[in-house]
Amino acid sequence: MTIVACINHSVKNDDALLRMQRAKHKSSHLIGEENTPLERGIGHTVSKILISQVGLGTYTWPYGLPANADILHGIPMNYWILGTLILSLLSPISYTKSMLAGKAKPHKVTRLIVWLASIAGGLGVIHSSNTAGIIFAAIFFARASYLLVMSLIYGTGGASRLDKSCLLIGILALVAYVITGNGLLAISFGILSDLIGYIPTFAKTWHQPKSEDPLFFGIESLASLLAIFAIWELRVDILFPIYFFVCGTFVVFLIYRKQLAHKLKVSSYPEDVPQ
């Protein structure tokens, strides 16, 4: 999964609750009034991005950040989410350039698990009335499909026992994610599926650090960090971007671990390092 998957999951979680909350607080949905905690969440913010782009009216967001509000419900435009989406769309460009240059070699199993996750995310919102959620699911699917095709052409892996085991367990965890639906258990299975799918990438990058693009994973980590700022509440959805941030940062560490170890050795024992 990617950070866009986190957005889709939040949309699915918030859609039903939001309709009930709107009915309850219908009289308070005026521009300039403070929004409820749920409306400040990532899912509802995403659902209003397209409308709030027109910039009808402004007010001060409770977190102290300027935000646009749409004239219908006074929902803030969350710039953190917009930044997350932009970065998620830019990162494949760097990955593509690296693959075409013969440097990055994405692991096929990892990309396949992410692609299957995009299908699961789409199924979760396809029957939703949330148009923006469906749009984000479509973007996630298109992005995952493109990276899967590129991995089949320029990637590596898929034949080893580790690859096959991770693929099987990852698919089972993904099925459990779909079956359990919303809540902490579902998110746990979603993270487990993605983590298992990334094990072949971790192993490959450990042995061949130059086979991955640090800029791609760096941008992904930054997008995840922005998503954490976007949620910034004690809700289970925040586990997704936290995991994505840790995962992306770990891959960057694996890429540069030898250089970091060398620098540490130089700084600690400069007399033992050949000049």
User: With 70 as the cut, is the pLDDT of residue 265 above it?
Assistant: yes
Tens digits of per-residue pLDDT, 8-39? 555 555 554 555 555 554 444 443 444 444 44
Q: Please tell me the least confidently modeled range out of 60-64, 85-89, 257-261.
A: 60-64
pTM value is: 0.73
Q: How confident is the model at residue 123 (pLDDT cuts 50, 70, 90)?
A: confident
Q: Is the pLDDT of residue 109 over 90?
A: yes
* pLDDT (0 to 100) of residue 28: 45
Q: What is the pLDDT, as a whole number, of residue 54?
A: 31
The sign one gets for the Cα dihedral 32, 48, 194, 93 is: negative
Closest CA to 84 of 191, 1, 187, 2: 2
Mean pLDDT along residues 193-220 = 96
| C-alpha span between 88 and 164 (Å, rounded) | 28
Going by C-alpha positions, the residue among 122, 107, 222, 127 that lies closest to residue 170 is 107
Domain residues of the chain, as ranges?
A: 7-68, 78-257
| Per-residue confidence (pLDDT) for residue 275, from 0 to 100 | 53
pLDDT tens-digit map of 47-86: 333 333 333 333 233 333 334 333 333 334 468 888 888 9
